[in-house]
Amino acid sequence: MATNISIAIHGGAGTILRSSMTPELQAQYELGLRQARDAGYAVLERGGSSVDAVEVAVAALEDFPLFNAGRGAVFNNVGKHEMDACIMRGDTREAGAVCGVAGVKNPVKLARAVMERSGHVLLSGQGAEEFGRAQGMEFAEDAYFYTQQRYEQWQQALKEDRVQLDHSDKKFGTVGAVALDTFGNLAAATSTGGMTNKKFGRVGDSPVPGAGTYANNATCAISCTGHGELFLRAVVAHDISCLMEYRGLSLQEACDIVVHDKLVKIGGEGGLVAVDRMGQIAMPFNSEGMYRACRSADGTDAVLIYK
């Protein structure tokens, strides 16, 4: 029985450049991270499951408009919000995911419903939305997802005819969480609006088990953030798990190889949060910063943005 309950969360690897960050804005980001982390940790503390903990933490980040998921999701190239999410449990390695969904307030909850009640792993677009309605998920009008800041980013990206990763020039979005519960079970969840001005129908790494999200009780739980196309090609989350399982590397060693070497070699900018079955946490990134926070029973407690 593991007692080192742990949680780590992220709010995206594309942080606002240090030069444009104000103390007020930084305080808001930190508040959003702390609230989500503590909500997830509270679940673990009262003996709840890691799946519940990551769902609660990610839903809190989705509800927080500064992060690119749920409310605050970025605009695609036709001015819509198309969201992706995934959740996975490490004990059974069951997974549920949705991609290209619109109007769903909390895509992570829909992903969980897919995992537990659809008989499938990944549902897309209208089919996922229909399933969500049948499952009693909460939906909202476009206005709920609209934020002025995202609209301006999209207009800027349109003008320059480029696809952009979240906030500004080279910014990623996405939120995610990983956790180890008191039963020794790992879980991971990720949710994203994707990339600003992405092509209608584009899907990144976040909802793909093994790429942006993965959990396996034998190794670790991982949630990624970064340039999805590269994370898909590098099958990042599963690669880290494999390095641990087949080469006997520690979580930190495996993360370092994938994030600071393999990804860098193909131009894959971003990072991830990870926890292993002992409750050890790693939060590596190769971008300027990554909104991140963690907490565990051994006293680890951090809320960080830059290196």
Catalytic residues: 174
**Residue from 189, 180, 213 nearest 7 by CA:** 180
Q: Smallest distance, Å, CB 231 to ligand ASP?
A: 6
Residue 259: both structure tokens together:
């994030």
DSSP letter string over 152-217?
HHHHHHHHHT--B-SSSTT----EEEEEE-TTS-EEEEEEE---BTPPTT---STTSBTTTEEE-T
Residue whose CB is less far from ligand ASP, 97 or 195: 195
User: Greatest CA span in the chain, whole angstroms?
Assistant: 55
Instruction: Identify whether the C-beta of residue 294 lies closer than 8 Å to the C-beta of residue 177.
Output: no
**Phi/psi at 53 (nearest 5 deg)?**
-65, -45
Strand order of the β-sheet with 6-10 is 122-124, 95-101, 83-89, 186-192, 175-180, 6-10, 289-296, 301-306
User: Taking CB under 6 A as the criterion, which residues in 59-118 touch ligand ASP?
Assistant: none
CB of 206 to ligand ASP, least distance (A): 5
**Rounded least distance, CB 175 to ligand ASP, Å:** 9
Task: Give the residue closest to ligand ASP by C-beta.
Answer: 228
Q: Distance (Å, rounded) from C-alpha 165 to C-alpha 102?
A: 19
Place of tokens 């969201």: 83
Question: Nearest to residue 108, comparing CAs of 126, 88, 136?
Answer: 88
Answer for which of 55, 129, 181, 205 binds ligand ASP (CB under 6 A) is: 205
Applying CB under 6 A, among 96, 107, 204, 284 the residue interacting with ligand ASP is 204
Ranges within 139-168 binding ligand ASP (CB under 6 A)? 165-166
Of positions 6, 11, 12, 258, contacts ligand ASP by CB under 6 A: 12
Closest distance to ligand ASP from the beta carbon of 147 (Å): 16
Using CB under 6 A, which residues numbered 14 to 33 contact ligand ASP? 14
* Window 206-235: residues binding ligand ASP (CB under 6 A): 206, 212, 225-226, 228, 231
Interface residue with ligand ASP, options 6, 15, 77, 174 (CB under 6 A): 174
CA distances from 51 to 92, 157, 253, 286 (A): 12, 36, 25, 28
> What is the closest distance, in whole angstroms, from the C-beta atom of residue 225 to ligand ASP in the complex?
4
Considering only residues 180, 195, 282, 303, which one is a binding residue for ligand ASP as defined by CB under 6 A? Answer: 195
172 touching ligand ASP, by CB under 6 A = yes
State the residues that interact with ligand ASP by CB under 6 A.
12, 14, 165-166, 172-174, 192, 194-195, 204-206, 212, 225-226, 228, 231
